[in-house]
Amino acid sequence: MPSIRPAEFRHAMQSLPSGVAIVTTGTAAGRRGLTVSSVTSICMEPPCLVVGVNARSEAHDDILANGSFGVSVLRSDQEDLALRFGGEEGAKGLHRFDTAPWDQGVLDVPLLPNAFCALECVLYDHKLLGTHTVFIGRIIATRQSDGSPLINFRGALRTFD
């Protein structure tokens, strides 16, 4: 049975509200990161999440090499970071990290100290599916802060505010 067209799939998925996060890996000059809206919990024992990353992303191979990654779920006032790490400003590599303070977590992955929620993951498994790799991360540490989350809905960044 044939699949639906990519444009049809994209339109359907834009109707599913999702949180916006920055996935990061690496230390010092080797830090890499990208904006995603494809993060979800997968199981409680062991606590795991799944994130989809384009195989052409500059962070993709570094996640595989480092074996760990961070997920900083963005607050409603962090839209500028979502756009920056999504490539809107043309910043690449380490330069994406220039406009905000970053901590290194217990796994030594970059995390936004004021993210709505941050999770640190050890790479548990991965599978290449078409253009993206599905990374399964076993969650080692979390932190939360106040505020409202940034949401991706119908192709636009939105807030609950």
Read off the pLDDT of residues 90-118 as tens digits, 9 standing for 90 and up: 999 999 999 999 999 999 999 999 999 99
> pLDDT at position 10, please?
86
Cα dihedral 99→37→86→155 (10° resolution): -120
Q: Is residue 36 a part of any domain in this protein?
A: yes
> pLDDT at position 16, please?
86
CATH of the domain at 122: 2.30.110.10
Q: Is residue 58 a part of any domain in this protein?
A: yes
Q: Is residue 159 a part of any domain in this protein?
A: no
Overall pTM > 0.85: yes
> pLDDT at position 59, please?
96
> pLDDT at position 161, please?
65
Work out how many domains the chain is built from and give that number.
Answer: 1
Q: Residue 98 to residues 18, 19, 84, 91, 115: CA-CA distances in angstroms? A: 26, 23, 10, 9, 16
Mean pLDDT of all residues in 81-96:
93
pLDDT digits (tens, 9 = 90+) for 115-160: 999 999 999 999 999 999 999 999 999 999 999 999 999 889 989 7
Q: Burial code of 5-43, b = ≥16 C-beta within 10 A, e = fewer?
A: eeeeeeeeeeeeebbbbbbbbbeeeebbbbbbbbbeeee
Q: Is residue 13 a part of any domain in this protein?
A: no
**What whole-number percentage of the chain has pLDDT above 70?**
99
Mean pLDDT of all residues in 13-39:
93
